[in-house]
Amino acid sequence: MNRRAMPKKLGKKMRQIREGLGMSQRQIVDALNYKDTPLRASQISQYENNQREPTMMLVLAYARLAGVSMEVLVDDKLKLR
């Protein structure tokens, strides 16, 4: 099965958002209030380390929490603030 190309900097940006908000992985799970599927702190670690690809809706939740557009998160050429 072919894997989709994933933005190389997405995980790093997700970590920057969490750390910039001064949150632990558990705290960001609560802050995201993500209802689509159960979300655990261990998954946050996998996303931040590019071991797992987040859903588009989770990326949207991160963007809204950080007050940035999704484009900033997924476009490797754009910097997070």
pLDDT of residue 63: 97
pLDDT at 20 over 90: yes
Structure confidence by residue, pLDDT tens digits, 34-69: 887 889 999 999 999 999 999 999 999 999 999 999
* Total domains in the fold of the chain: 1
Is residue 73 a part of any domain in this protein?
Answer: no
pLDDT at 4 over 90: no
Q: How confident is the model at residue 1 (pLDDT cuts 50, 70, 90)?
A: low
Residues spanned by the domain of 42: 10-67
Measured distance CA(12)–CA(33) in Å, rounded: 21
pTM: 0.90
Measured distance CA(74)–CA(62) in Å, rounded: 11
- The 10 Å CB-count burial string (b at 16+, else e) for 65-77 is bbebeeeebbeee
Which comes out higher in pLDDT, residue 5 or 17? 17
DSSP annotation string for 65-80: HHT--HHHHH-TTS--
Is residue 3 a part of any domain in this protein?
Answer: no
CATH of the domain at 18: 1.10.260
Cβ proximity of 63 and 73 under 8 Å = yes
